[in-house]
Structure 1
């Protein structure tokens, strides 16, 4: 069974840009190697992440995320079963996603959210737009 979890959190103020970049490289490589899809974004001292994958794997990963000292005030937006993944791979981006990022998968995710979870859509859309400019 597939599962998705999304959250926002506040980055530790001592975290440097170089450390965030290293985190993103590690997370992208690690998640793609484990067939975990989704996106991690960082902007203005905050993280926004969507994780998709096998239920037990996603739950275990989220438990590790909660213990990570590089951020705090983790607010889970949703945690639910999904019929299939919206993302084809795992993406990460530092600061605000720019024009070079293909927003197609994120837009697909938002359309799915709007269709299947209209109560969550408003919050998720708001957060995604805070982290990037949708084309």
Structure 2
């Protein structure tokens, strides 16, 4: 099993509808390929970690490379892992306000908090470093 993290920029800003379409496509494909991970999008920037069987991660990243919605893709991490950092992350998505979000089980204000992210890797794990840099860049 491997973990691959990449950064990229959107060619054009994505609308809420486009992000929802991306979510639905990605969830189905990732479930079928036994992939987990996290995809973050903010202000035209993406950071994504894919984790799972080597062949499935590389095949999925190959499709991402050819996706015309991205530019400047580069891999920042590609390493074998013994266990998943995002084992339960299914990329669930719904537009809600902050008060409603805090009432949801498992809520984490991921982009604004430094800890309690729900990750199973030790603090400071390789993938977590890149997600931390992404979050810090948004402040």
Q: Indicate how the Cα distance of structure 1 residues 128 and 36 shifts in structure 2: closer, same or farther if over 3 A, else same.
A: farther
1:107 alignment counterpart: 119
For each residue in 1:14-70, what CA deviation from the matched residue of structure 2 results, as whole angstroms up to 9, or x when unmatched?
643311210112102221232101011111111111100001111111111111101
Q: Indicate how the Cα distance of structure 1 residues 72 and 63 shifts in structure 2: closer, same or farther if over 3 A, else same.
A: same
Give the Cα separation in 1 of the matches to 2:13 and 2:41: 15
Larger Cα Rg: Structure 1 or Structure 2?
2
SS in 1 for 2:86: coil
SS in 1 for 2:2: strand
2:111 alignment counterpart: none
1:21 alignment counterpart: 20
> Which structure shows the bigger proportion of residues in strand conformation?
1
Give the Cα separation in 2 of the matches to 1:33 and 1:20: 20
Native 8 Å contact 1:88 1:105 kept in 2: no
Q: Indicate how the Cα distance of structure 1 residues 32 and 89 shifts in structure 2: closer, same or farther if over 3 A, else same.
A: farther
Native 8 Å contact 2:47 2:131 kept in 1: no
Deviation at 1:75, TM superposition (A): 2.2
SS in 2 for 1:108: coil
TM norm structure 2: 0.72
The alignment's C-alpha RMSD in Å is 3.0
1:125 alignment counterpart: 132
Q: How many residues align?
A: 125
> Which structure shows the bigger proportion of residues in helix conformation?
1
